[in-house]
Every structure is written in structure tokens, then in C-alpha cells.
Amino acid sequence: MPQIHPKTTPIYQTSVFTFEDLNDLELYFEQPTQQYMYTRYGNPNSDELAEEVNRLEGGAGAVATSSGMSAILTAVLTFCQSGDHLLCAEEIYGGSAALLSQELTRMGIAVTYVPSDSLYTLVDFVQPNTKLLLAETMSNPLLQVVDLKRLAAETKRTGIKLVVDNTFATPIITKPLSLGADMVIHSVTKYLSGHSDVTAGVVVAGTAEDSERSKQIMRTYGLNLSPFESWLAARGLKTLKLRMRQHCANAMAVAEFLEQHPNVKQVWYPGLAQHPQHELANGQGGGMFGGMLSFRLKDDELKTVNAFMQALQHIPFAPSLAGVSTSISHPLRTSHRSLSPEQQQKLGISLGVIRLSVGIEDTEELLQDLGQALDKV
């Protein structure tokens, strides 16, 4: 049989790998990084994905997981066990809050949410058993930008770890580890894969020790990613830099358009000069502000929201984000549904707030569709 040198990594769609004999098996246990035994423990496709994201983030090691949620779980369990306490930024993805408050508390891990105005002074929140703070580079859904360098200095001062969800920014815009974070997580489902056809996550550690611990958690809890989805995600990564440039350019144009429309009351996008963290976002993101934005309709009523959604001709209502095609979502009824009405109100997530994931289509097509839909409400 001739030698095969594929340009693209083949899909290793197998649950188990074979050994010649017991000596070969022992070699695996002595040098597990040199061979494969069982796909839950490791697979060439999931390793390729993890290694590429690790390179992009500048980490000491990474592990691919079955979803963004399992990446969050893996990161938390890397540092926490029963009896520990963790902090979480108050403005966080609703699914993250549900995992922390509804499930991890059942495992004996206590959670405290830190308001945005207290994020850089943690002395009143850190307890003797506090292990980490979880925050997002850009918050979901109102795009508040965290000063990661400042936050990392505060977590180091208080002796806790900083875990950053970098899904909205991607390493093309911001590299949290270089700013002092201890661990970075991604929902690979979103920008890293980029085509709305994968559900995956990744955890990138700042030290080899933390990386090995996160890999152990993935293996033991069975949080591994399948070979085929790993292959799809690794393929998506190849165009990440190009896609992010177009996402950002389109989002800026859309934000400026929405800002001027009479039926829009407010726009949240870090690229706009009046955004409260615009200068921070500009410096931390190297002049790139991401493809996500949110806006509030002037008429904050259900019939108005429905009329707007129904009037869109090319932009679907899809409760996810970061695909190459633009989509809208409704945080109050989807991502932040699990929050109490008081929490939703405090965060400013009302019925009229629409989250827009700006794709890479022709800019004028996007503006035309949004414009005609807004004109009808």
C-alpha cells in the first residue's frame, strides 16, 4: 500500500484503538501522549482542535469538550470541589448562571455574583474558601467589556484564579491569558467553528498543571467531543481570522445604522464612541470590537417585537450566535430566561432588547433588511 500524506487530518471515527500486545499497552500507560487507546481519553481529531485553539490563545495546554457548557463545568471543577466558593460576574450568559446556581450548588460549591461596579474591588466578596472568579471578555447580551488586565491584578491580589469566557471576542480580538487570566474557555459552537453545525467547547489553561487537571476531568466525567465534530470545528478554525474581520466590519456598520434609526431606543456595541468601555475595548481588542451587538426597540412591547421579527426577510430568529449568517435572538425569552424578573430588570434585559449576531453577508443587504423591518414597527 502506498504511503498516504493527507493535507487535511482524516476523521478518526473510532471509539477504540488497538494494541499489538501487552508490551504495547504498557507503553501507552508510560507515554499516553504518544498513543491513543479510547476516544473518551483522547482522539487525533479532538487533540488537533485543542492544540490549535491553544496556539491561538497562547496557552500551556487545552482540551476539547462536548459543548460550551461542559467547558465551563470543566474549568470550574479544575479549581473547585465541594465546600469551595466561587465568584461570578453578575453580567454573564444565562446558561452559565443556571449551571452555577442550580447545579454546582447541589455539588456543594457556593456561588456569589459580583455587580459590575464592584468587579475590580473583590475584598468584600472573597472568602477563605473562594477559589476563582468567572467573567466574560464581553458580556452576554449587553456587551459590557471587562478590563482583563485590571481584573487579573485584582484576582491575583486576593489569591484566586481568573477564568475568562472568551467566546464573544475570540483570540483574534483578545487573548485573556496574555493579560493575566489563569484559564480561558470557549463555546466552540460559536465563532471558532463558525458555521452553526457544531456543538463543542474548549478549555485553555495557563499552566501545564491546570491543563492536565482539566483533561482528567474531561476524561472522568465523559465530557469529550466526538471525532467528527472535532474535525468540523478544526476545519472552521482555518477561516476564523478572515471571518472575524468581516463580522467586525459588518457589526460596526449595523450598529451605526441602528443608532440613527428613530425606532431604536438604545444600541450596545463596544465599537460605538458612546459605549462606556469604548476606549478599553479599542485597546484590548486592537481596534476590533466583535460581531455581536444588542439594541432596544423604542416600543418595548410584545406585539412590536413580534412584528419586527416577522418583518425580517433574510435574518432569522435563532437562539444562538456567531454563524456566518446573521441572526437575531431574544435574551429575555431565551439565554436569560432562567433569571428571576428582578435579575433581568437589574441587568436591563427587557422585552424590547434584541441581540443581533452579525454575519459575513454583504453589508448593504443587512442594512436593507433591518431598515425595512424597523420601518414597519
Amino acid in position 148: L
What average pLDDT score do residues 17-39 get? 89
Dihedral sign computed on CA atoms, order 338, 344, 346, 348: positive
The CA-CA-CA angle for residues 283, 287, 292, to 5°, reads 105
Average pLDDT on 29-56 reads 93
Residue 338 has pLDDT above 70, yes or no: no
For residues 262 and 297, what is the distance between their CA atoms, to the nearest angstrom?
9
Residue 252's domain comprises 240-375
**Mean of pLDDT over the chain:** 95
Range scoring the smallest mean pLDDT among 66-70, 296-300, 347-351 = 347-351
Q: Which whole number is the average pLDDT over 335-353? A: 77
CB neighbours of 75 closer than 8 A, spacing ≥ 6?
A: 134, 163, 183, 185, 203, 214
pLDDT digits over 164-214, tens only?
Answer: 999 999 999 999 999 999 999 999 999 999 999 999 999 999 999 999 999
Is 185 found in the same domain as 65?
A: yes
Domain match, 150 and 288 both: no
CB 275 within 8 A of CB 269: yes
Contact (CB, 8 A) for 87 and 122: yes
Decide if 1 is inside a domain.
no
Could you give the number of structural domains in the chain?
A: 2
32 with 78, same domain: the answer is yes
Q: How far is CA 175 from the centre of its chain?
A: 13
Instruction: Supply the angle between the helices 227-237 and 44-57 in degrees, to the nearest 10.
Output: 30
1 confidence band (pLDDT: 50, 70, 90): low
Provide the annotated active-site residues: 40, 93, 165, 190
344 pLDDT more than 80: no
Structure letter (DSSP) for residue 107 = G
- 323 pLDDT exceeds 70? yes
Does the pLDDT value for residue 348 go beyond 90? no
pLDDT attached to residue 343: 74
> CB under 8 Å to 234, separation ≥6 — which residues?
9, 45, 48, 49, 52
Look at residue 32 in the predicted model and tell me its pLDDT.
75
pLDDT tens per residue across span 112-155: 999 999 999 999 999 999 999 999 999 999 999 999 999 999 99
pLDDT confidence of 341, banded at 50, 70, 90? confident
Residues 249 and 135 placed together within one structural domain of the fold: no
267, 330: one domain: yes
Predicted confidence (pLDDT) at residue 11 exceeds the cutoff of 90:
yes
Strands 161-165 and 130-136: parallel
203 shares its domain with 336: no
